[in-house]
Amino acid sequence: MSERAMNRTFWLSLSLACTAAVGAGLPAPAQQAAAPVASFDASVTNQGYRLRSGDQIRIDVLGFVDLSREQTILPDGTINIMYVGAVRAAGRTPEDLSEHLRSQFTGILKKPVIAVSVMETRPLQVNVVGEVMRPGPQVFLPQTGAMATGGTQGGLTRRVGVERISNAIALAGGVTHRADVRQVTLIRQLPDGDQKETVNLWEALQTGDFRRDLTLTDGDTIQVPTLPADDKITEDMAQQVATSSLAPRTISVQVAGEVKRPGSVDIDPRSGLLNAISAAGGATTEANLEDISVARMLPNGRIERVALNLNKVSDGSQKVQVRNGDVVFVGRGGSFTAADQSRAFLGPLGDILRIFTFPFRFF
């Protein structure tokens, strides 16, 4: 080996050794675990997607290219299979259909191996009414991909197989804080009349059993009722639902008083009082953080005002869950009359509402 080649080899070996030494000395990047959120999506892979008219599927028959092809399920719910004829596909899972086709080909083929995959779903429209952020028609858009019959999802996008009650509620912007998720009603129009079924999504969130998160069909209506005003579980339900997948992605809160940017702020539904004040630019130098009020409309139409001390909220001795539509008022230190507070807190409504019952709670 020439002297030049030996020098090149030496410097290359030295460079690799230094790189390895530096890499070994670097600490592994830390990963921050995300806070768990109660969700209905965990059960999707265990609940088979049921085919419907308009879906595009692929049927693969191992060893027989002429029998393997893509088909669109006809309006009557059937597909046409060579040597077999019309086969009912709508209402079956891909796995059920593959098993049925295997039984149909027994006697025609020797030990047939058949797989059915969903290539594209057709749009599905349902109606969501009641205590949701955006009531009205909700559309599940067509999804493309391939869902193997063995439960694997392959390249399938997330919406395939998740046309369920909880996902329709999510499309409607999530539930309001007044929603009674114990009494969600699914209404389905059938030839002999409407079929109604009540679903307890609150129990599903508590137990993790999502089997009652029912699959939807075209034209279904989901009704989310209002919590009874005197229900003892109201506060607990509102707080837990606010941190679940049923909650809206953001909530709107009005922040007034001694903050730098008073007005409406959008925050995460799991946020606390401090997050709302921070989103409004933070407190001013004249703010009295021991004099904070939160006003909200109760299910019975009355307005409730809660007096809070931010120091006690921070150390956990006072607890409050900020909700959509709440009004947060940060008081001023020094002399500031009650009438001024009421007027600044509720604007023109302050003078009007003082003639009505205005409950005041301390936590």
Q: What is the mean pLDDT of residues 52-81?
A: 91
Confidence check: pLDDT of 57 > 50: yes
- Which has the closest alpha carbon to 290: 277, 278, 305, 307? 307
pLDDT of residue 73: 93
Q: Give 36 or 2, the one with higher predicted confidence.
A: 2
Two tokens, residue 52: 């419907």
- Contacts of residue 207, defined as CB under 8 A and 6 or more positions apart, other chains included, come to none
* Fold agreement (124-144+153-241, 251-362): yes
CA atoms within 13 A on the CB side of 120: 10
Cα–Cα dist 94/346, whole Å: 57
26 DSSP assignment:
S
**Residue 34 dihedral angles phi and psi, to the nearest 5°:** -80, 145
Place of tokens 């593959």: 98
pLDDT: which is higher, 142 or 178: 178
Percent of the chain with pLDDT over 70: 69
* Mean pLDDT for all residues in the chain: 75
Taking a C-beta distance cutoff of 8 angstroms, is the pair 231, 202 a contact? no
- Between 208 and 170, the more confident residue is 170
Tell me the per-residue pLDDT of 76-131, one tens digit each, with 9 for 90 and over: 999 999 888 999 998 888 999 999 999 999 888 888 999 998 888 888 889 999 99
Tell me the pLDDT band of 44, cut-offs 50, 70 and 90.
Answer: very low
pLDDT at 41: 42
pLDDT over threshold 70, residue 143:
no
Overall fold of domain 251-362? Outer membrane lipoprotein wza fold like (3.10.560)
The mean per-residue pLDDT over the stretch 6-27 comes to 43
DSSP 30: P
* Cβ contact 252:325 at 8 Å: yes
- The residue among 326, 315, 137, 276 whose CA lies nearest residue 218 is 137
Between 354 and 200, residue with greater pLDDT: 200
pLDDT in tens, 187-207: 998 778 888 999 998 888 878
Residues near 291 by beta carbon (within 8 Å), at least 6 away in sequence:
307, 309, 330, 331, 332, 333
pTM for this entry:
0.55
Whether domain 46-119 has CATH 3.60.21.10:
no
- The H or E element spanning position 241 is helix 234-241
Phi first, then psi, for residue 276 (nearest 5°) are: -65, -45
In DSSP terms, which residues pair with 254 in a beta bridge? 264, 327
pLDDT at residue number 235: 64
pLDDT in tens, 241-293: 777 778 888 888 999 999 999 999 998 887 788 889 999 999 999 999 899 99
Q: Find, among 295, 299, 294, the residue nearest to 231 by Cα.
A: 299
Q: Domain ranges for the chain, please list them.
A: 46-119, 124-144+153-241, 251-362
Q: What is the pLDDT of residue 9?
A: 47
- CA-to-CA separations, 253 to 31, 101, 195, 248, in angstroms, rounded: 32, 56, 38, 13
User: Which amino acid makes up residue 346?
Assistant: L
**165/169 Cα distance (integer angstroms):** 6
User: Which residue carries 């703010």 as its tokens?
Assistant: 287
How would CATH label the architecture of 124-144+153-241? Roll (3.10)
Report the alpha-carbon distance of residue 327 to residue 319 in Å, rounded: 16
Query: Cα separation of 79 and 96, whole Å?
Result: 14
Query: What's the confidence (pLDDT) of residue 129?
Result: 95
Among 164, 165, 75, 98, which residue's Cα sits nearest to residue 129?
Answer: 165
pLDDT attached to residue 246: 83
- Percentage of the chain lying above the pLDDT 90 cut: 27
Q: Give residue 116's pLDDT.
A: 92
Residue 119 has what pLDDT?
A: 87
Average pLDDT over residues 162-168: 84
Q: What is the pLDDT of residue 45?
A: 31
